Amino acid sequence: MLPSGDSYEAVAARFEWRIPARYNIAQDVCDKWADGSGRLALMVEAADASQTRYSFDDLRRLSNRFANAMKARGVERGDRVAIFVRQSVEAAIAHLAAYRMGCIAVPLFALFGMDAIEFRLAHSGAKAVITDAEGAAKIARIRDALPELQHLFSTETDFWPAIEAASDDETLVDTAADDPAVIIYTSGTTGKPKGALHGHRILLGHLPGVEMSQQCFPRDATLFWTPADWAWIGGLFDVLMPSWHHGVPVLARRFDKFDGAAAYDLLVRNQVSHTFLPPTALKMMRATPGAQREGLALRSVASGGESLGAELLAWGRAMLGVTINEFYGQTECNMVLSSCEKWFEPRNGFIGRVVPGHDVAVVDDSGSPLPHGTQGHIAIRRPDPVMFLGYWRDEAATAQKFRDDFLLTGDLGTLDDEGFFRFIGRDDDVITSAGYRIGPGPIEDCLIRHPAVRFAAVIGVPDAKRTEIVCAVVVLNDGFQPGDALVRELQEHVRTRLAAHEYPREVHFVAELPMTATGKVIRKSLRAHFTPDKG
């Protein structure tokens, strides 16, 4: 999607969107490559490191067959098809089948519990679900609460027999770029999850951001992997679908529990060239004892979801051999800001520049752009090909997301004179202390530079004198013990490196931090736990 060019300015000046009126994701990412050549599309690695390979020809045939199997059971265009399995060929087949039928895919995280699954299946009105034995057992216990759910395909029982019994007849329907294709539920850190409904154009809208954050992807790309589950927008539309758009094979390997040493081994053993590693994964790899960069074949590493900070960027250069490109977006409108080391040197504390094709600004509460250097809401102007169509079955929430033509992300930031954006934090995560507005990111980055700290989360807790005070919640590295002396040491560490008003007046030590399924710290949970009881 991005034109060729040796500088950000040259590429941005020449960029123009190419969004056809009629467009279908399945045709773009699969059928156009399924020419009988056996071109590799997917490598699925099991826990014992054994692998199964699938070509685009295989995926076209299998997804056509599964689409015909669903049609035979009454699944029709516009119906919602839930995909409740981890990274796997079954997940890939189900997505392609749903898109080619004109259905709406509803990806669901495989580790969701029954309450989370019940809400999403009921809210989306899913007519069919593809899952494994574990997921089928969960759904069986809530089936009575899901009157619209008619068909369940289990990967251990009837999924593959249904494919084998179905015909190879072509199932691709004619869809518009704006026709609904997928509902991706937000992580629900601030209230109930909302279903972001996207059209088929979501993939085309993602391409410039993926290409920019992955060093002019698909240049030098031979194999793409991410630990991020395909149930989330990062795994699905930052990795799987953009790779297939460009004909680049993807490695599917989802750990039951992410392990830094295992990730290094996977990258080396498979000679992965490109990867998307969320900040939490990077922090866990950084904490891996005895890790070495020998044998890595990485050409590009991108990360997004939370600000990385100077410490992780420096570690990435030393241990991964590349400069990690940060990108920014959210489920409703993803990949709109990015760094690209090929075009410009990343700036400490900044998350990058506007991805060509998008119009991003910092605005006030009414949606009016603010002067450079002024803190406000990070916002994206509509229309935009990567922007959602709206929240599923929630017109009021959709309207509240906008101020005139700007979509408000809910994140605060600043924009400097050269077009670099600084991420301050979620609007509800920013700490107001003694008149200062303090973002948690720089303090967390400073804390993890201390040898005792493995992970850190910073929140504000109420204080009668200062409105709020800075509170740090810390997970320690092995060999370090909590105590008053370490509290004072960490406080001084921040005070001398950042500012006196930003040091944590409270420090708490915990065994682990509460996180969403996408690896973001749930600060709301921490605030509830560490806020003094007013009763």
| CATH at 151 | 3.40.50.12780
Residues 532 and 1: their CA atoms lie apart, in Å, by 52
Higher-pLDDT residue of 532 and 480 is 480
What is the average per-residue pLDDT within 42-62? 97
Instruction: Compute how many other C-beta atoms are within 10 angstroms of the C-beta atom of residue 290.
Output: 6
**Looking at the predicted structure, is the pLDDT value of residue 76 above 60?**
yes
User: Please, what is the end-to-end C-alpha distance for the chain in angstroms?
Assistant: 57
Last residue within a domain, chosen from 138, 167, 199: 199
pLDDT at residue 534 above 60? no
For the stretch 134-187, pLDDT in tens is: 999 999 999 999 999 999 999 999 999 999 999 999 999 999 999 999 999 986
Q: Is residue 310 part of a domain?
A: no
CA 92 to centroid of chain Cα atoms: 17
pLDDT of residue 424: 81
pLDDT at 276 over 90: yes
Reduce the DSSP state of residue 315 to 3 states and report it.
helix
Rounded to an integer, what distance in angstroms lies between the CA atom of residue 535 and that of residue 533?
A: 5
Total domains, the chain: 2
Q: Is residue 30 a part of any domain in this protein?
A: yes
CATH of the domain at 506: 3.30.300.30
Within 13 Å, how many C-alpha atoms sit on residue 110's CB side? Answer: 19
Q: Please choose, from the candidates 420, 402, 15, the residue with its C-alpha nearest in 3D space to the C-alpha of residue 205.
A: 15
HSE at residue 26, side-chain half, CA atoms within 13 A, is: 30
Question: What is the average pLDDT across 81-97?
Answer: 97
pLDDT attached to residue 183:
98
Residue 97: burial class (beta carbons within 10 Å; 0-12, 13-18, 19+): buried
Say if residue 191's pLDDT is above 60: no
Whole-number Cα distances in Å, 60 to 76, 107, 172, 264: 19, 20, 10, 32
- Among the residue ranges 78-82, 273-277, 308-312, 323-327, the one predicted with the least confidence is 308-312
Residue 187 counted as domain residue: yes
Phi/psi of residue 183, nearest 5 degrees: -115, 120
What's the pLDDT at 4? 93
Question: Which contiguous run of DSSP H or E holds residue 446?
Answer: helix 440-448
Of all residues in the chain, the percent with pLDDT exceeding 90 is 79
Given this model, what pLDDT does residue 432 score?
Answer: 75
Examine residue 246 and state whether it is found in any structural domain, yes or no.
Answer: no
The 10s digit of each residue's pLDDT in 462-500 is: 887 788 899 999 999 999 999 999 999 999 999 888 877
Which tokens is 523 given?
A: 């600060």
Does 141 fall in a domain? yes
pLDDT range class, residue 112, cuts 50, 70, 90: confident
Decide if 518 contacts 232 (C-beta within 8 A): yes
Phi/psi at 426 (5° precision): -60, 145
In the block, which residue shows the tokens 């009881």? 533
Q: Is residue 51 within 8 Å of 45, Cβ to Cβ?
A: yes
Exposure string for 400-414, b = 16+ CB within 10 A, e = fewer:
ebebeebbbbbbbbb
Residue 187, pLDDT score: 66
Which has the closest alpha carbon to 247: 465, 19, 55, 471?
Answer: 55
pLDDT above 60 for 132: yes
88 by Cβ neighbours in 10 Å (0-12 / 13-18 / 19+) ranks as buried
Token digits of residue 416: 């400097």
Is 345 a domain residue?
no
Q: What is the mean pLDDT of residues 434-459?
A: 86
> Range with the lowest mean pLDDT among 105-109, 164-168, 257-261, 407-411?
257-261
What was the pLDDT predicted at 154? 98
State yes or no: pLDDT of 116 exceeds 90.
no
Is 358 part of a structural domain of the chain? no
Is the pLDDT at 361 greater than 70? The verdict is: yes
Q: 3-22, pLDDT tens digit by residue?
A: 999 999 999 999 999 999 99
Asked whether 321 and 390 are in contact (CB, 8 A), the reply is: no
> In this model, does residue 533 exceed pLDDT 70?
no
* Cβ count near 182 (within 10 Å): 29
Quote the tokens at residue 52.
Answer: 């199964």
74-84 as b/e, with b when 16 or more CB fall inside 10 Å?
ebeeebbbbbb
Nearest-angstrom CA–CA distance, 277 and 84: 22
State pLDDT tens for residues 58-69: 999 999 999 999
Bridge partners, residue 403, by sequence:
406
Domain boundary among 142, 171, 199: 199
The lowest-confidence range among 142-151, 162-171, 205-214, 525-534 is 525-534
Bridge partners of 507? Answer: 472
CA–CA separation, 329 and 220 (whole Å):
25
**Long-range Cβ contact pairs of 73-79 (< 8 A, separation 24 or more):** 73/128, 73/150, 73/151, 74/150, 74/151, 75/101, 75/103, 75/127, 75/128, 75/151, 76/101, 76/103, 77/101, 77/102, 77/103, 77/173, 78/102, 78/103, 78/104, 78/180, 79/103, 79/104, 79/127, 79/128
How far lies 152's CA from each of 64, 143, 157, 160, 304, in Å?
18, 10, 10, 13, 34
Whether residue 86 has pLDDT greater than 50: yes
What is the extent of the structural domain holding 477? 429-530
Residue pair 395/388 in contact by the 8 Å Cβ criterion = no
Confidence category of residue 188, pLDDT binned at 50, 70, 90: low
Among the three residues 199, 218, 251, which one is the final residue of a domain in this structure?
A: 199
530 alpha-carbon distance from chain centroid: 28
Position 164 in a domain: yes
3-state SS track over 424-435: EEECCCCEEECC
pLDDT band at 535 (very low <50, low <70, confident <90, very high): very low
Sign, CA torsion 168/96/384/418: negative
